[in-house]
Each structure stands twice: as structure tokens, then as C-alpha cells.
């Protein structure tokens, strides 16, 4: 089957996309740090320098995120930023308002208590001691735009690592657990970064973190 082409802007004669609405009574929590349901596999972000970002979509358009990071050198401050890039996001994606909430942090396998667990723009997060291996878990909301009211499950969303390390070339792999239809990376010279065809579609691995902004098209669960 030919790869689907991601169209983020409204087409002639099609209704304008509408933002998703949270489900009433949706209180499911993100799993605590270090309690992943699946065993870790080796690779950048886990056993070698890099970032591994896993996004689990939810019916309301939010994502449960797990971000494993291994740095080249220890740091004592993490710079965090939600996936907004102004004019770098195409079409209606510029109208999104991403927010990371329920943030939990492991640094060198130690759970770090956080006074503030929400990131809405950029934020510096001091660590009690310098660390090389980081795991962030959080709920990402406000980054999704639904295509049409007639197909509310069809949506587009922007994803990027929450952590913005000083090493701009740190290899980054973004994966979506289900429903992925296409992916573009607007900061790369070759913007289409989908690999394969649905339902086995994946996103190109090892993107330098400074360019690891991924706009996906997906069917929400």
C-alpha cells in the first residue's frame, strides 16, 4: 500500500479541524517512573548516548510519554521545553498550546521529587546532583488537532523531546505505540520522516535532537 500523505491544512470543501475535547472522568494515571510495562531494549537513550521518546496516544488526543535520555556528560540542570516551534509548525498546528503535566523524574535511577510537575513553555529543572541518565514520564496535552468532525479519530499532533540538552546532535528516536499513519519532520532537509507503510509505519530513528520535531498523522484509539 502506498504511504499516506500527511495534509495538515484544511483542503477546499473540507471542514476546518477542531481541537480535541478531554473525556469526562478520565483519571487514568501515568505509570510511575521505572515501572514500564515492557522491558527496556538496548540502544540510544538506554545503553548509549541519545534519547528514546515513546508516545502512547489516548482517545482524548493527549499522549502518555516516556522519555529515556542518556547524555555524553553529567549535568545538574535540565532545560525543558514543550513542542512549540512557532512558524516551524505547519498550518493549524501553530494554534496548538502544548502542556506537559504529571511530570515524574528519575536521575541516574533515583526518583527526584518535584515541586512543580507542569511545563507549559520552557523551564530549567535543577537536579540535586549531576546525572547522566534521565527518565521523564508525563502527560502531553494540547498538541493535537483533529482533522474533521466527521472523522474525529483522525488527527495530527506535534511531538518532540521535553528535554533540550546542550548536545544538539544527540541521536533521538521517536515512536508512537499505535495508529501512526504518517510523519514529517519540518526541521530536516528531507521533511518526510516516515519509514514503511501502515500498520507497520515507524519514524526515522536517530534524528539529531535539535531537529527532532515530528508532526504525525494518526488515528486515535
Q: Which three cell numbers stand for residue 74?
A: 553529567
Q: What is the pLDDT of residue 184?
A: 93
Q: What is the pLDDT of residue 9?
A: 39
- Calpha distance 41→62 (Å, rounded): 25
Q: What is the pLDDT of residue 43?
A: 81
Q: Which residues neighbour 138 within 8 Å (Cβ) at sequence distance 6 or greater?
A: 30, 65, 67, 100, 101, 102, 103, 104, 117, 119, 162
Q: What is the pLDDT of residue 11?
A: 35
Three-state SS at 182: strand
The answer to whether 4 touches 181, Cβ cutoff 8 Å, is yes
- Calpha distance 163→80 (Å, rounded): 5
Q: What is the pLDDT of residue 44?
A: 84
The CATH code of the domain at 50-219 is 2.60.40
Q: What is the pLDDT of residue 84?
A: 67
Q: What is the pLDDT of residue 141?
A: 95
Q: What is the pLDDT of residue 149?
A: 75
> Longest Cα pair distance anywhere in the chain, in angstroms?
56
Q: What is the pLDDT of residue 27?
A: 38
pLDDT in tens, the chain (221 residues): 333 334 343 333 444 444 443 443 443 444 444 444 445 677 888 889 999 999 999 999 999 999 999 999 999 999 999 876 555 666 656 678 899 999 999 999 999 999 999 999 899 999 999 999 999 999 999 999 887 777 888 999 999 999 999 999 999 999 999 999 999 999 999 999 999 998 899 999 999 999 999 999 999 99
The answer to whether 80 touches 162, Cβ cutoff 8 Å, is yes
User: What are the extents of the domains in the chain?
Assistant: 50-219
Amino acid at each position: 500500500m502506498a504511504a499516506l500523505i500527511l495534509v495538515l491544512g484544511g483542503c477546499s470543501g473540507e471542514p476546518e479541524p477542531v481541537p480535541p475535547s478531554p473525556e469526562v472522568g478520565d483519571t487514568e494515571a501515568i505509570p510511575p517512573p521505572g515501572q514500564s510495562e515492557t522491558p527496556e531494549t538496548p540502544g540510544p537513550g538506554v545503553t548509549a548516548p541519545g534519547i528514546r521518546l515513546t508516545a502512547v496516544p489516548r482517545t482524548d488526543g493527549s499522549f502518555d510519554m516516556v522519555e529515556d535520555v542518556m547524555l555524553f556528560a553529567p549535568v545538574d540542570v535540565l532545560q525543558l521545553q514543550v513542542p512549540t516551534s512557532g512558524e516551524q509548525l505547519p498550518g493549524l498546528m501553530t494554534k496548538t498550546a502544548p502542556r506537559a503535566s504529571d511530570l515524574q523524574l528519575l536521575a541516574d535511577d533515583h526518583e527526584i521529587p518535584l515541586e512543580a510537575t507542569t511545563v507549559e513553555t520552557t523551564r530549567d529543572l535543577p537536579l540535586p546532583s549531576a546525572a547522566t541518565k534521565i527518565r521523564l514520564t508525563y502527560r502531553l496535552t494540547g498538541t493535537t488537532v483533529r482533522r474533521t468532525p466527521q472523522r474525529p479519530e483522525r488527527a495530527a499532533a506535534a511531538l518532540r523531546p521535553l528535554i533540550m540538552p546542550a548536545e544538539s546532535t544527540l541521536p533521538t528516536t521517536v515512536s508512537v505505540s499505535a495508529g501512526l499513519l504518517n510523519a514529517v519532520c519540518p526541521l530536516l532537509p528531507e521533511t518526510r520522516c516516515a519509514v514503511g507503510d501502515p500498520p507497520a509505519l515507524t519514524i526515522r530513528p536517530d534524528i539529531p535532537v535539535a531537529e527532532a520535531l515530528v508532526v504525525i498523522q494518526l488515528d486515535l484509539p
